[in-house]
Amino acid sequence: MRTVRQLLADKPAEIFAVAPEAPVVEAIRLMAEKSIGAVLVLRGDELAGILSERDYARKVVLQGRSSADTPASAIMTAKVVTVEPGTSVPACMQLVTERRIRHLPVVEDGRVVGVISIGDLVKAVIADQQLELEQLQRYIAS
């Protein structure tokens, strides 16, 4: 059973973030440039929140706010669901399903060390299932 640590080892070590006082438009630009659906909101090294495209659509667009005048802290999700590097992929899948979220910051010793997405999790589950299928086929054929 794979862990978050193993998923992070297969990804670039970049963490994309903005400061709480940064205008929302800065976060949206970063998401567009990096082709990602969420950015962390960091106060120094401390995780203050996460800001997703969903937050933007619901809390800026639908409420008629200005992206340039609204700080990230005003629309971010402050109660962030996080995982540790030793968390299993199935446990993460359960979290994203139950909480209806798409991104999980990975925190170790109080420090953000990465982010995994539902896409990373699905890719890992498919790879594990493919490996298991191949092993079963080899067993049956032998």
> Which residues does 125 contact at the CB level (< 8 Å), separation at least 6?
89, 93
pTM: 0.88
Q: Please check the confidence at residue 52 and state whether its pLDDT lies above 90.
A: yes
Band (pLDDT 50/70/90 cuts) for residue 137 is confident
Band (pLDDT 50/70/90 cuts) for residue 36 is very high
Q: Please check the confidence at residue 87 and state whether its pLDDT lies above 90.
A: yes
Instruction: Identify the CATH class of 4-141.
Output: alpha beta
Instruction: Please answer whether residues 72 and 19 qualify as being in contact, where contact means their C-beta atoms are separated by less than 8 angstroms.
Output: yes
Q: Please check the confidence at residue 13 and state whether its pLDDT lies above 90.
A: no
Q: Please check the confidence at residue 130 and state whether its pLDDT lies above 90.
A: no
pLDDT tens for residues 95-122? 999 999 999 999 999 999 999 999 999 9
Q: Report domain extents, the chain.
A: 4-141
Q: Please check the confidence at residue 123 and state whether its pLDDT lies above 90.
A: yes
Q: Give Rg (Cα) of the chain.
A: 18
Task: Give the number of other CB atoms < 10 A from CB of residue 113.
Answer: 16
